């Protein structure tokens, strides 16, 4: 087994016993990235020199007695996170040459833990997409089938972990952008409770929905990475004033007697039979582990997609107004007036999906339509949240498919925005309600592509969520499919 295929626990033990060095692991990661990135396009920028320098620095200082589990671990970060000296292009022409002058919260947390940032990972432009086809520069490919998408918008981060380019990575999730690519790429992806992880230094898409979270090849690694990034941050006004528990401590507890809710609205006739077969097998696994399955209802689920695309686009319209060609980013050099500068810089700098969402968001916020769309959307969001509150009176954890489909082919949905949006139908409600959700592999479909299982927990319920996911993972058979790189 290569060093980059090992778990965090295994690497931690090797470091502690001095059987390997951080430099060895970082060099192995760099080699794997350089061998496979041509095929995958997962990394947008590789920090070869700074990663090696950091590895040598860590080795020279030696592993501290109380070292974080993330010490010496190679990490990829999504291209919308500000880390000093690293590009943060958000997959957009309008930020093509932008280099972050400061460390956002993620940079601070990773450096404090002693992790090694290997580079930034490609994404859908400004995190708007479900396939990583909405990128101004490249298309990220699925490591299990290079003709298929990795999911989005954090597709690069998911593909980097699935292909063992890095041990773990960070993505952001606004409506499913961690969980859906985790499902498509056969890895673990966790979207934390809104406010558990600081958004300081995350380029905003929809500020009331965005949340940073981990990708990993196993649940325990996701718990270790979450531990290093969770907690209160004074620089983020929406950050919880909360001290997180030790997320790895109770992973191995049995889950006998926990109640797992099955929302009837998520198990519809539209889900392919091969995906439902995998989910049914997952239900049986939980029953064998001693869990009790209970039927629940989330009646406002049918309005979730419409509500999400009203609220998310409205916030995007406001957040992306800052990209105007004046202070930083792409600037049209031929404009004769300030108005023309705005129009031409934004028209040339933004891609079609971003323009579509800005226009939609501006419309729902406009005079005469605000009450009919945006205000009504906020009211429905409250109803969605209340549905979950009621459900968690009956259940400890909620089980659903992560996505109604597996990885689709390039071009299959890109010209049909509604079809693309519906691929997030099982994930957006979690963001609207601000809850934690995790996707983990639970089998393959008839095309031998990964199928994802989603578990949803109550607010700040990550410990229970990770415990249930870990116990499932222990007995769920491996996917049994080979990478194409």
201-224: pLDDT as tens digits:
999 999 999 999 999 999 999 999
Query: H or E segment at 111?
Result: helix 105-113
Block residue for tokens 């997959």: 91
Work out the number of other CB atoms within 10 angstroms of the CB of residue 376. 16
- Percent of the chain residues past pLDDT 70, beyond the cut: 100
> Is the pLDDT at 327 greater than 90, yes or no?
no
User: Is there a domain that residue 52 lies in?
Assistant: yes
User: Is there a domain that residue 260 lies in?
Assistant: no
User: Is there a domain that residue 162 lies in?
Assistant: yes
Total domains, the chain: 1
- Percent of the chain residues past pLDDT 90, beyond the cut: 95
User: Is there a domain that residue 363 lies in?
Assistant: no
pLDDT band of residue 180 (cuts 50, 70, 90) is very high
Distance CA 11, CA 7 (A): 6
User: Is there a domain that residue 422 lies in?
Assistant: no
Contact 137, 44 (CB under 8 A): yes
| pLDDT one-digit tens code per residue, 360-384 | 999 999 989 999 999 999 999 999 9
Mean pLDDT over each residue of the chain, to the nearest integer: 97
Residue 85's domain comprises 3-252+471-475
The radius of gyration computed from the CA coordinates of the chain, to the nearest angstrom, equals 21
Distance CA 485, CA 142 (A): 10
Q: Which residues are catalytic?
A: 78, 153, 177
Give the three-state DSSP class for 173.
strand
Starting at the edge strand found earlier in the chain, the sheet holding 188-191 runs 43-46, 116-121, 74-78, 168-173, 211-216, 188-191, 437-444, 450-456, 397-401, 259-263, 292-296
> Is the pLDDT at 403 greater than 90, yes or no?
yes
Distance CA 285, CA 325 (A): 54
Q: What is the DSSP string of 249-286?
A: TTTTS--TT-EEEEEGGGS-TTS-HHHHHHHHHHHHHH
> Is the pLDDT at 418 greater than 90, yes or no?
no
Distance CA 406, CA 452 (A): 8
CATH of residue 213's domain is 3.90.1300.10
pLDDT band of residue 423 (cuts 50, 70, 90) is confident
User: Is there a domain that residue 217 lies in?
Assistant: yes
User: Is there a domain that residue 312 lies in?
Assistant: no
Q: What is the pTM (predicted TM-score) of this model?
A: 0.97
Q: What is the DSSP string of 406-455?
A: -PPBTTSSTT-HHHHHHTTTTTHHHHHHT--EEEEEEEE-TTS-EEEEEE
At 168, list the tokens: 């773990």
pLDDT band of residue 76 (cuts 50, 70, 90) is very high
User: Is there a domain that residue 37 lies in?
Assistant: yes
Give the three-state DSSP class for 171.
strand
**φ and ψ at 263, to 5 degrees?**
-70, 120
């Amino acid at each position: 087994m290569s060093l980059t295929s090992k778990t965090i626990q295994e690497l931690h033990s090797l470091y502690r016993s001095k059987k390997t060095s951080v430099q060895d692991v970082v060099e192995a990661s760099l080699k794997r990235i350089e061998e496979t990135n041509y095929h995958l396009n997962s990394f947008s920028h590789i920090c070869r020199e700074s990663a090696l320098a950091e590895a040598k620095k860590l080795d020279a200082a030696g592993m501290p007695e109380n070292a974080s589990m993330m010490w010496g671990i190679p990490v990829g970060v999504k291209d919308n996170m500000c880390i000093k000296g690293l590009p943060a292009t958000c997959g957009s022409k309008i930020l093509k040459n932008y280099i972050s002058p400061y460390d956002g919260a993620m940079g601070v947390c990773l450096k404090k833990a002693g992790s090694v940032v290997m580079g930034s990972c490609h994404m859908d432009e400004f995190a708007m997409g479900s396939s990583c086809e909405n990128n101004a520069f490249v298309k990220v490919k699925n490591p299990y089938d290079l003709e298929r998408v990795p999911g989005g918008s954090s597709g690069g981060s998911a593909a980097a972990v699935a292909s063992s380019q890095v041990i773990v990575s960070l993505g952001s999730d606004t409506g499913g952008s961690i969980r859906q690519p985790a499902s498509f790429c056969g890895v673990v992806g966790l979207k934390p409770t809104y406010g558990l992880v600081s958004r300081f230094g995350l380029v905003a898409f929809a500020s009331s929905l965005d949340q940073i979270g981990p990708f990993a090849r196993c649940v325990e690694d996701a718990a270790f990475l979450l531990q290093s990034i969770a907690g209160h941050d004074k620089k983020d006004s929406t950050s919880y004033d909360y001290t997180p528990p030790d997320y790895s401590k109770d992973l191995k507890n049995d889950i006998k007697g926990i109640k797992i809710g099955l929302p009837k609205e998520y198990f519809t006739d539209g889900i392919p039979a091969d995906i439902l077969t995998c989910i049914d097998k997952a239900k049986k696994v939980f029953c064998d582990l001693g869990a009790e399955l209970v039927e629940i209802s989330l009646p406002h689920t049918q309005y979730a997609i419409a509500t999400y695309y009203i609220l998310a686009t409205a916030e995007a319209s406001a957040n992306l107004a800052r990209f105007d060609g004046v202070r930083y980013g792409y600037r049209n050099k031929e404009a004769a007036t300030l108005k023309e500068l705005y129009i031409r810089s934004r028209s040339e700098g933004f891609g079609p999906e971003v323009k579509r969402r800005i226009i939609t968001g501006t419309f729902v916020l406009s005079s005469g339509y605000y009450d009919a769309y945006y205000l009504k959307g906020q009211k429905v969001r409250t109803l969605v949240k209340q549905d979950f509150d009621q459900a968690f009176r009956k259940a400890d954890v909620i089980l659903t498919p992560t996505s109604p489909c597996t990885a689709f082919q390039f071009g299959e949905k890109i010209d049909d925005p509604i079809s693309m949006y519906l691929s997030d139908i099982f994930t957006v409600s979690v963001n609207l309600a601000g809850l934690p959700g995790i996707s983990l592999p639970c089998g393959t479909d008839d095309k031998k592509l990964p199928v994802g299982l989603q578990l949803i927990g109550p607010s700040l319920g990550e410990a229970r969520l990770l415990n249930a996911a870990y116990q499932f993972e222990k007995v769920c058979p491996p996917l049994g499919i080979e990478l194409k790189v």
